[in-house]
Amino acid sequence: MIKRTLKHFHMCCGLGGGAKGFNRAKPVVGNMQAEWQCVGGVDVDPAGLRDFQRLSGIPGTLMDLFTREQYTAFHGVEPPAGWREATAEDVRRAANNQDPDAVFISSPCKGASGLLSETMSLTPKYQALNELTLRCVWLMCEAWKHNPVSLIVFENVPRLATRGRHLLDQIGKLLEFYGYAVAETTHDCGVIGGLAQSRKRFLLVARHIEKVPPFLYEPEKKTLRAVGDILGRMPLAGDIEAAGPMHRVPALQWKTWVRLALVKAGKDWRSLNELAIEDGYLRDFIIVPEAYAGYLGVNDWGDSMGTVAGRSSPTNGAFSVADPRAREGALQYQQYGVRRWDETSGAVIGVKSPGQGTFSVADPRDPGIGHAKYNVAQWDGVSRTVISGSTTGQGAFAVQDPRTGGASTHKNVFRVVDYDQAAGTITSGHGPSSGGQSIADPRPGMAKVKGDPYLTGGHYGVVPWNGQAGAVSASARQDNGRWSVADPRMPAANERLTCVIRSLDGTWHRPFTTLELAALQSLVDPEEQLELDGLSDQAWRERIGNAVPPSAAEAIAHVMGTTLLLAGAGETFMLSNMPVWVRPVAVGLSVSHQDSV
């Protein structure tokens, strides 16, 4: 194979995703093979330039491409002392004074992004950012006007075609002035690069007519992949030992976690509009802390219970299971089972007990004489024989006495007096069992007013979070004192934390880790680790989101390399079933360089 080296340079290079993709492309035409070599890049972000060197293999150049007027409009202050506008000579020097065959321009897109409101996009700050697109193209054309760049790719957000229409018109006229044929298209980088994401971008492609007569064709379109195709090859999110710090689950604001939990699987934030809101609150949902960490919890039959430790019991975790295998006749699974009176029990062996099977029975017989412990005989019935050891616990030695009037000495035992009646005489031995010393109190509420009987009892009392509980006794329960606490530890709306959202369908709803975002962008293979400059997830994510997916850039570089190889071989036409990307109208049918001049 005849090898040919093609050179590429990057304006607003970012972390180097585009450069990495160009480096990977190795187009072949006949017995010729091209290899792309990066000759440099420029950007205003020092951290991004350090990443650029890591991904492209060559240092980038720190350079502010604003004019003084644009700098002031964007930053709101004058440039610092020593600052000066970049020149075409500075750009050429950033390419190590080499002449590239292709230049990739990926200027900032925030001013034209759909995430920015129309009003904000019209402010001087973002207008200055948008104007950087035109300045980048002009600096590039001036830097190599002695030897024009053969092919140019300018990429941005799709909305630039509307919000930056006046700038694109100027860019087109400028490129035509320098001898280029220009085409504006919108491409899905996911389709071009075979990614697991749909990433639509605006692409302006220019071909220098005199230097490159063959047509430039669109890259082949590929099928989008599923997210799981990429993430399934990576360690589980949060496993930083296996995948590095960029694979940690990000700490998000609590309100963001709540919103994420309410988004339906397969949907986006717009599904939140389907929720019912009344008086500013969700009508159909309530958020409460998870109590007792699974205390007396019961797992679904198909769920995993987790590691069982030596102290595991139903009262310190979810160590019970909802077993669906209980069927008629399956006695081995019917612990604490109660058999019907007319059914048979299982085989009775030495270890059987109510907790080991269906060894209890629903006995429909009224307690008879043979089971007369604590029994009460009817008034008109007979009691059993009274023996020397007779007590209430030994037989039916109590009687239902219908005589409620008269001077019965025991008629007030455990008696409850109506609220509007008088109580009996209070004696020294008073108590509920010795007379009508209890009352049916109809007054609603307890501890409402000082002096109420239950004001200081603390029944079902709740202690403030910053208060103190009383002495905790051995019999302390929620209904005999202030043993509950008003716990305010629900996270604040803006508090950042890491959560696990377990959905009802058994899936884990979570945000992508930073490493997963990089893998979806094809910046790193799923099995590899990646460590970008710095320690901030926010900074990493911004640089990754601004990056050109290397796989998409590789597809573009492959087509460009093919075109340049054809031009170097003197070919002026190539049959292809792909749409023509760039074509000068005047020479659309020409087949030779001489005819097109």
- For 338-359, what is each residue's pLDDT tens digit? 777 777 666 666 555 565 566 6
pLDDT at 575: 55
pLDDT at 39: 98
Task: Return phi, psi of residue 360, to 5°.
Answer: -130, 160
What would the two tokens of residue 309 be? Answer: 């430790």
Quickly list H helices, 216-292.
227-231, 240-243, 254-262
Determine the average pLDDT of the residues in 13-18: 96
Q: Is the pLDDT of residue 208 over 50?
A: yes
- For 454-498, what is each residue's pLDDT tens digit? 555 677 788 888 888 777 777 777 777 787 887 777 788 899 888
Return the domain boundaries, the chain: 2-235+519-596, 251-287+490-510, 441-464+475-488
pLDDT at 447: 46
570: left (phi over 0), alpha (psi -120 to 50) or beta: left
- For 147-160, what is each residue's pLDDT tens digit? 999 999 999 888 88
Determine the average pLDDT of the residues in 195-202: 91
**Which of 3-17, 67-81, 355-369, 475-489 has the lowest average pLDDT?**
355-369
For tokens 């919890």, name the residue.
Answer: 297
What would the two tokens of residue 596 be? Answer: 């097109």
Q: Is the pLDDT of residue 591 over 50?
A: no
Superfamily of domain 2-235+519-596: Vaccinia Virus protein VP39 (3.40.50.150)
Contacts of 362 (CB under 8 A, 6+ apart): 338, 339, 340, 341
Kindly tell me the burial class for residue 97, based on how many C-beta atoms sit within 10 Å of its own C-beta (0-12, 13-18, 19 or more). exposed
Which is higher by pLDDT, 484 or 398? 484
What is the C-alpha to C-alpha distance for residues 67 and 60, in angstroms, rounded to an integer? Answer: 20
pLDDT at 596: 36
**Which of 301-305, 495-499, 575-579, 590-594 has the lowest average pLDDT?**
590-594
* Angle between helix 17-24 and helix 46-56 axes, rounded to 10 deg: 10
Which residue from 73, 67, 57 is spatially nearest to 10, judged by alpha carbons? 57
Task: Return phi, psi of residue 254, to 5°.
Answer: -55, -40
Q: Is the pLDDT of residue 397 over 70?
A: no
pLDDT at 393: 56
Kindly tell me the burial class for residue 516, based on how many C-beta atoms sit within 10 Å of its own C-beta (0-12, 13-18, 19 or more). buried
The winner for highest mean pLDDT among 84-98, 113-127, 562-576 is 84-98
Residues 543 and 15 sit within 8 Å (Cβ to Cβ): yes
Element of type H or E holding 208: strand 200-208
Confidence of residue 244 (pLDDT cuts 50, 70, 90): very high
- For 522-540, what is each residue's pLDDT tens digit? 999 999 999 999 988 889 9
* Three-class DSSP category at 411: coil
Element of type H or E holding 181: strand 180-188
Q: For residue 495, what is the DSSP state?
A: -
pLDDT at 354: 62
Residues 233 and 526 sit within 8 Å (Cβ to Cβ): yes
pLDDT at 590: 32
Confidence of residue 331 (pLDDT cuts 50, 70, 90): very low
Q: How many CA atoms lie within 13 A of 466 on its CB side?
A: 0
Confidence of residue 261 (pLDDT cuts 50, 70, 90): confident
- For 28-72, what is each residue's pLDDT tens digit? 988 899 999 999 999 999 999 999 999 999 999 999 999 999 999
Determine the average pLDDT of the residues in 359-387: 65
Q: Is the pLDDT of residue 140 over 90?
A: yes
Task: Specify the amino acid at residue 155.
Answer: E
Q: Determine the Cα angle at 163 with ends 157 and 167, to 5°.
A: 90
What is the DSSP annotation of 205-227?
EEEETTT--S-EEPPPP-PPPPH
pLDDT at 298: 74
* Angle between helix 165-177 and helix 124-143 axes, rounded to 10 deg: 10
What is the C-alpha to C-alpha distance for residues 481 and 463, in angstroms, rounded to an integer? Answer: 10
pLDDT at 391: 59
Residues 22 and 54 sit within 8 Å (Cβ to Cβ): no
Residues 116 and 126 sit within 8 Å (Cβ to Cβ): yes
pLDDT at 374: 62
pLDDT at 206: 93
Residues 564 and 22 sit within 8 Å (Cβ to Cβ): no
Which residue from 549, 574, 577, 553 is spatially nearest to 153, judged by alpha carbons? 553
Q: Is the pLDDT of residue 441 over 60?
A: yes
Residues 257 and 501 sit within 8 Å (Cβ to Cβ): yes
Q: Is the pLDDT of residue 594 over 70?
A: no
pLDDT at 589: 28
- For 275-312, what is each residue's pLDDT tens digit? 999 888 888 887 776 655 566 677 777 777 767 777 67
What would the two tokens of residue 99 be? Answer: 């002449």
Q: Determine the Cα angle at 353 with ends 347 and 355, to 5°.
A: 115
What is the C-alpha to C-alpha distance for residues 572 and 564, in angstroms, rounded to an integer? Answer: 11
Cα torsion angle, 274, 275, 278, 279, sign: negative
**Which of 131-135, 191-195, 586-590 has the lowest average pLDDT?**
586-590
Q: Determine the Cα angle at 462 with ends 457 and 466, to 5°.
A: 120
Q: Is the pLDDT of residue 595 over 60?
A: no
Provide Rg for the chain, Cα atoms.
41
pLDDT at 462: 83
Confidence of residue 135 (pLDDT cuts 50, 70, 90): very high
Which is higher by pLDDT, 428 or 504? 504
Confidence of residue 127 (pLDDT cuts 50, 70, 90): confident
Taking all residues of the chain, what is their mean pLDDT, rounded to a whole number?
81
Burial pattern 485-505, b for ≥16 Cβ within 10 A else e, equals eeeeeeeeeeeeeebeeeeee
What is the C-alpha to C-alpha distance for residues 118 and 257, in angstroms, rounded to an integer? Answer: 28
The winner for highest mean pLDDT among 179-193, 334-348, 358-372 is 179-193
pLDDT at 507: 79
Residue 518 to residues 18, 254, 314, 489, 492: CA-CA distances in angstroms? Answer: 13, 25, 43, 35, 30
